[in-house]
Amino acid sequence: MSKENKDKRPRRFRLALFNDKTHEYLFNIHFTRTGFFVTIVTIFTVFTAAIYSLIAFTPIRTFIPGYPDAHSKRAAIQNAMRIDSLESVIYRWELYSENLRRVVEGEEPLKIDSLINSSNGKSGPQADAAELAIKDSLLRQQVKEEEQFDISGRDKRNLPIEGLHFFTPLKGVVSQGYDPALHPYIDITAPAGSVVKAVLDGTVINDSWSDDTGYTIQIQHNGDLISIYKHNEKLLKKTGEKVTAGSPIALVGNTGKLTTGEHLHFELWYQGETVDPARYISF
């Protein structure tokens, strides 16, 4: 009977540490199987809580990839405020430009109050609406006065190519003229380094290099016009820059394989087709 009771007692374990050289007893610990697992779980829980607290409540969390720091949050808030302000400004300008278009074309202007109240549930300040209403009234009055005395210049807004005043891109000798089938452009010889100029106001839409044409620059003008200048020695303008008629854009050169000497290869495109530049420009 005593043997059976002895077997029912919890089994105890001992972990002892000894010096390997002197066999000196250093430390020992007694534990049961249940106590061992409870200790392990407790240590793991405490360790996890310590790591979580360290990350959640100290600046160490900012070192975690993707975790926003205080500066990022502040920048995000500022950007959101700027976006909201820009949306308001863009909305007002769209409203103003739409009324401008309608007044110029003789249509009935939009009602500002109704637009403000129906634009995605947003309503601008009353001061802005009043200001837009005043500007709209003044604009309509100005257009009426211009139309009365025919000084608005509406007939000059979309001039044909014959009515444009072109600036000479390069003073020189036309070495080869325009041929719509074989040579749909002209070549102008001039000393190397001579300044090439824009023929009209416009925007540079391409500045590039190719093995055949060397340094090339293309300019988009109003009225569906494009001018192209090839074989330059150096380009003075970059894509996206605005140019005025007569402003320097390049220097005459002899770059590219398709050239036999210093000259300017000049093309003029109107409504998607090449035209003879000599008909409109004096070289």
pLDDT for 80:
78
Q: Report all structural domains of the chain as residue ranges with CATH numbers, in order of start.
A: 2-53 (no CATH), 70-151 (no CATH), 162-279 (2.70.70.10)
Q: How confident is the model at residue 149 (pLDDT cuts 50, 70, 90)?
A: very low
Report phi then psi at 32, rounded to 5: -105, 170
Q: Name beta bridge partners: 217.
A: 207, 229
Ranges 47-61, 108-122, 161-175, most confident: 161-175
Copy the structure tokens of residue 250.
């390049």
Residue type, 42: T
For residue 146, what pLDDT is reported? 54
CA distance 85 to 176: 57
3-state helix, strand, coil in the chain (%, to 5): 40, 25, 35
Q: At what angle do helices 70-104 and 126-149 cross, to 10 degrees?
A: 30
Average model confidence (pLDDT) across the chain = 79
Backbone CA torsion sign across 188, 189, 193, 194: negative
**The model scores a pTM over 0.85:** no
If you average pLDDT over residues 6-30, what whole number do you get?
Answer: 75
pLDDT of 76-124, one tens digit each? 777 777 787 787 778 778 777 777 777 777 777 666 555 555 554 444 4
At residue 122, the pLDDT reads: 47
Residues contacting residue 22 through CB under 8 Å, at least 6 positions apart: none
**Of residues 182 and 12, more confidently modeled:** 182
